[in-house]
Amino acid sequence: MNRYVLRCVKCGREYEDDGFRLRCDEDHEPAVLRTVYTKKSFSLQEHLPGMFKYYDLLPVHRILEGGAAPVTYKSERLSRYLGLDNLYIIFNGYWPERNAFMETASFKELEAPSVLARIPKDHHGTIVVASAGNTGRAFAHICSRNHIPLLLVIPEDSADQIWSIKPFRDNVKLICASGSSDYYDAIKLAEQIINLDGFFPEGGAFNVARRDGMATTVLDCSYGAGRIPDHYFQAIGSGTGGIAAWECSLKLLGDGGYGQKRMKLHLSQNYPFVPITETWNRGLKNIPPLDEEDAKMQIHETCAKVLSNRQPPYSIRGGVYDVLTASSGYTYSVTNEEVFLAMRTFEEYEGIDICPEAGVAIGSLIQAIQQKKVEKDDLIALNITGGGERRVKRDNEVYFLEPFIKFTDKEINGKGIRKKLEDIFVVR
């Protein structure tokens, strides 16, 4: 008997997992599939490496090396400074003293192993991943470590994000979208490549393994605290992490051993690029079309650059709008000044450097406290999505992945791109 099935949130149709399915076959609006596990409660598989200790709630068929698990602890100093009694920090990154060993210093290291371990082992295609930076770093790290072919597509601005503390193996290739390209241009380039023979898409928010992988943050916190958090704070780009967190809270409600209180989502973006925050706060179900130049200019002004998805899965069924609605959630706009202050505050009180995106989440928590959206004794989960990058780079030698080809945004959006890609990738 299979450990799980995939169920469409729109029509309820169920599918056995072939390791690749992203969507429902029925003719209806775009909707996510969710995993439904036969076993309603999970037990920790401590003998498995990293995040695979949550194997019971991961849609995977094998175990991969090189990834780590989130580490949850109850904050004392930052908690006291903020006037909270029950602040749990879900730390994703590198912090040896806390037993946190994500070598990429990012919680994207929770997505890559589960996505890759969902693919049948005997499959020979190359997975294509478009990334604004840290997702790409995580996939490159895990693929290199496990000899899995990867084609990574990123905006050139993010090339310095693709580093590792071990040299990359040849099975990992990098393409850059150059010129004034952003993440969205990288996504468009990747979409062209997956149409070629031998390549397949990672799937983004539609991939159940990506979401269940990220959801281990909520599992870890709930397991550590003994119940589902009242509030969950995370910075978002696409919002996939928010969707994943909510889905996980539903699974824990189904388990029954973690309380019956619904978790409230608090999702944040970095001003001035705040399409999800603005859309939610205006009560809209669809994100109004963004002017490309305006959006790129706004992204340029943010300090948390990876939160820069111009086409987030907001209005799809089971997407960001639906999970915010179901959780009676909130969204926040956090300025660069608030982010820098939050980063300094965290390092001062908790003792490790964190990434700007984690600073966005802390900035939103500070706003929530000021706006009385949380109570002093509420159980609050704060997802520190990346930390210890400075530390890991100080303790180790760092290697960068060099692009083997670049395309400008004009080329990517021009008519000749398919021919150019075929010339490179298609064996005739």
Interface residues with Zn ion (CB under 5 A)?
Answer: 8, 10-11, 13, 24, 26
Instruction: Give the 3-state secondary structure of residue 269.
Output: strand
Give the amino acid at 51.
Answer: M
DSSP code, position 164: E
Pair type for strands 126-130 and 330-334: unpaired
Q: Which H helix or E strand runs over 266? A: strand 264-270
Nearest to Zn ion of 8, 175 (CB atom) = 8
Nearest to Zn ion of 17, 157 (CB atom) = 17
Residue 19 CB, shortest distance to Zn ion, in Å, is 19
**153 touches 226 (CB < 8 A):** no
Place of tokens 């824990």: 252
Place of tokens 């609605």: 325
DSSP code, position 356: H
Nearest to Zn ion of 5, 369 (CB atom) = 5
Can you tell me the distance from the alpha carbon of 362 to that of 398, in angstroms, rounded to the nearest whole number? 28
Residue 317 CB, shortest distance to Zn ion, in Å, is 8
Residue 316 CB, shortest distance to Zn ion, in Å, is 12
Give the amino acid at 274.
Answer: V
Nearest to Zn ion of 7, 210 (CB atom) = 7
Nearest to Zn ion of 10, 393 (CB atom) = 10
Nearest to Zn ion of 30, 49 (CB atom) = 30
Residue 415 CB, shortest distance to Zn ion, in Å, is 35
Q: Where are the beta strands (DSSP E) in 144-235?
A: 150-155, 163-164, 172-178, 199-201, 231-235
Stated length of the chain: 428
Beta bridge partners of 153: 130, 175
Nearest to Zn ion of 13, 394 (CB atom) = 13
Residue 9 CB, shortest distance to Zn ion, in Å, is 8
Place of tokens 């995993």: 35
Residue 18 CB, shortest distance to Zn ion, in Å, is 16
Residue 11 CB, shortest distance to Zn ion, in Å, is 3
Q: What interhelical angle do 336-350 and 356-370 show, nearest 10?
A: 100
Nearest to Zn ion of 26, 65 (CB atom) = 26
Q: Give the closest residue to 79 by CA, choosing from 71, 87, 89.
A: 87
Residue 34 CB, shortest distance to Zn ion, in Å, is 11
Can you tell me the distance from the alpha carbon of 138 to that of 131, in angstroms, rounded to the nearest whole number? 10
Classify residue 226 as left (phi > 0), alpha (psi -120 to 50) or beta.
left
